[in-house]
Amino acid sequence: MNRVQHKSPSPLEQVRRRHRVRVATTPGSASSRKVTRKLSPADERLLQRLLQGEQDFIDSPAFYEENAEHQIYTEVPDVQKPDTTWYHPVMDDLSSASRTRTIKSSQQVILTGAEERILFHQFNYARYCVNKLQKAIRSQPGQVPTAEQAEEILGWHRRAERIREQIAETNLALVLAMAKRTRMSEVDFADLVSEGNMALLRAVDKFDAGRGYKFSTYACRAILKAFSRQGMKLSKYRQRFPTDFDPKLEKSNFLETKRADFEKDTAAEVREIVQDNRAELTDVERTVIEHRFGLESGEEKPMTLEQVGQIIGVTKERVRQIQNKAMEKIRRELESKFLGQNQEDAEQNEEPGKAVAGK
């Protein structure tokens, strides 16, 4: 009989389960079971983030009236959604032709003051509902939301994000217009547009439509201030780091320098061994090594095997054999010298230890 082996969760999954947001459910409630099944890991992370902070909003007396949700979302005309297929500023080349390119009137949506008030009213009411649910959950024992509260707070948050995105997309042309008018040649155009888009989103969060002003009036000033901050940030960076970024400066050349010094010292040592004939080379072997590696004079170019063979009257294969035999003698001389130095250093280090032990 086959036994079913249950695989234990991984350590990462155990940590995720410990930090997972608990949702209080009522046993036997069909609606609670339905909501709990729909709560995906992404929803759990979003719910945890919403419960940690406090949602801000622009307050309005209309939020506290009876049937406020019905009046704000149902009893108002629909606002046309923008077409953003034209928006690709980073892909455009930054020539004068692209900077003067205009948006077609069929692609651009210009909101009236009444339409802007409708959208901002809906946006802030959704945030108000999120804030109210946050306070209600914190007042409960253990601060654990019910399944209905979890579904409701996630729904209001997503509604607020959709309206915020709609307002921002409607005013994308405003960011491009301000970026093209700004004369900041030291700032990249794509960075300028990106900074303007972030300022536009912050302006959506802070704008109070109840004061009667157009959103573009408020957003233009916010976008220009963001451009100014970006320029000041870049100028301060260039004052602190006056040189341009050089990838070569980020890479250390220690190993290359150390290797070059070692090769230079080794070549000098080999030259001394050949000149002093400490490796006991024959006359033919010395001639081959000196001509093959240019050791007779620093300016002499190394000869080929065939050229050296013509000098001593043998074939190039015989020259290779003589060269290999001579290099083997030089290698043994180098090894004996360095091994002897290492042995002497070790003996010198042992003598002070023996003297201390004798005392």
186 with 234: CB under 8 angstroms?
Answer: yes
At 103 the pLDDT is 55
**Other Cβ atoms closer than 10 A to 47:** 22
Q: Which domains are seen in the chain, by residue range?
A: 34-240 (1.20.120.1810), 254-348 (1.10.10.10)
Q: What is the pLDDT of residues 180-193, one digit of tens each?
A: 888 776 777 888 88
Q: What is the pLDDT of residues 327-357, one digit of tens each?
A: 888 888 878 876 666 566 656 666 655 544 5
At 291 the pLDDT is 83
Short-list 201, 208, 136, CA closest to 175: 201
Q: What is the pLDDT of residues 24-48, one digit of tens each?
A: 655 444 444 444 446 788 888 999 9
At 95 the pLDDT is 47
Nearest-angstrom CA–CA distance, 19 and 14: 9
Higher pLDDT, 352 or 226: 226
At 113 the pLDDT is 87
Higher pLDDT, 120 or 39: 120
Q: What is the pLDDT of residues 267-292, one digit of tens each?
A: 788 888 888 888 888 888 888 888 88
Q: How confident is the model at residue 96 (pLDDT cuts 50, 70, 90)?
A: very low
Between the alpha carbon of residue 288 and those of residues 283, 300, 323, the distances in Å are 9, 14, 6
At 278 the pLDDT is 83
Higher pLDDT, 278 or 88: 278
170 with 109: CB under 8 angstroms?
Answer: yes
What is the pLDDT of the chain when averaged over all its residues?
79
At 358 the pLDDT is 52
Nearest-angstrom CA–CA distance, 346 and 341: 9
Q: How confident is the model at residue 119 (pLDDT cuts 50, 70, 90)?
A: very high
pTM for the model: 0.57
Q: How confident is the model at residue 222 (pLDDT cuts 50, 70, 90)?
A: very high
